Amino acid sequence: MPTTNNAASNTKNIWPKLITFSFIVLVIVIAVSLLPRGFSQDLSVVGQGTNAVVLVHDGNILQSTDTMAAMNAVRDDFEQHVAFIVADINTPEGKRFADNHGFGPAALAFFAANGEQLQILYSEQTSESLQRHLNTIFNYNY
């Protein structure tokens, strides 16, 4: 008889632990889903059939970081039509890309689907100004 009571007691004790564990897992899943997505650094996409915006990023320059935040803000509206790419100037690939095109840090370059450079901006962008530039340069209406 005492064995039956212990089994029932153990079953009752596991529910609060299971609920607590499930709650913690749920909080972790929600937190991870809210983290910002990273940007592609695949520069080979430029000229491969998709319009592209390339930020020559230097994390030490506030203008570059602010422009990246603006890119992140408009990405959901445009990502089906435009590839958002970051060329980190502190990596060999990013440095090579910037040097080959003559871009300085914080440059925001717009490329047509065929790889033609359409425009380059060096001014800090807000989400509103970047949206205007994307609509104007690529003839979108978002």
Three-state secondary-structure class, residue 50:
coil
pLDDT at 36: 56
Q: What is the pLDDT of residues 44-59, one digit of tens each?
A: 999 999 999 999 999 8
Residue 26, class by beta-carbon neighbours within 10 Å (0-12 exposed, 13-18 middle, 19+ buried)? exposed
What average pLDDT does the segment 20-25 reach?
89
pLDDT at 8 over 70: no
The identity of residue 19, as a single letter, is: I
Q: What is the pLDDT of residues 67-91, one digit of tens each?
A: 999 999 999 899 899 999 999 999 9
Percent residues over pLDDT 70 in the chain: 87
Q: What is the pLDDT of residues 93-115, one digit of tens each?
A: 999 999 999 999 999 999 999 99
User: Domain locations in the chain?
Assistant: 51-138
Q: What is the pLDDT of residues 121-132, one digit of tens each?
A: 988 889 999 999
Axis crossing angle, helix 62-78 with helix 127-137, rounded to the nearest 10: 60
pLDDT at 37 over 80: no
pLDDT at 65 over 90: no
pLDDT at 11: 64
Contacts of 59 (CB under 8 A, 6+ apart): 65, 88, 90
pLDDT at 136: 93
pLDDT at 9: 60
Residue 63, class by beta-carbon neighbours within 10 Å (0-12 exposed, 13-18 middle, 19+ buried)? middle
Domain 51-138: homologous superfamily in CATH: Glutaredoxin (3.40.30.10)
Integer Cα distance of 88 and 56 in angstroms:
6
pLDDT at 17: 86
DSSP states of 4-38:
HHHHHHHHHHHHHHHHHHHHHHHHHHHHHHHSPPP
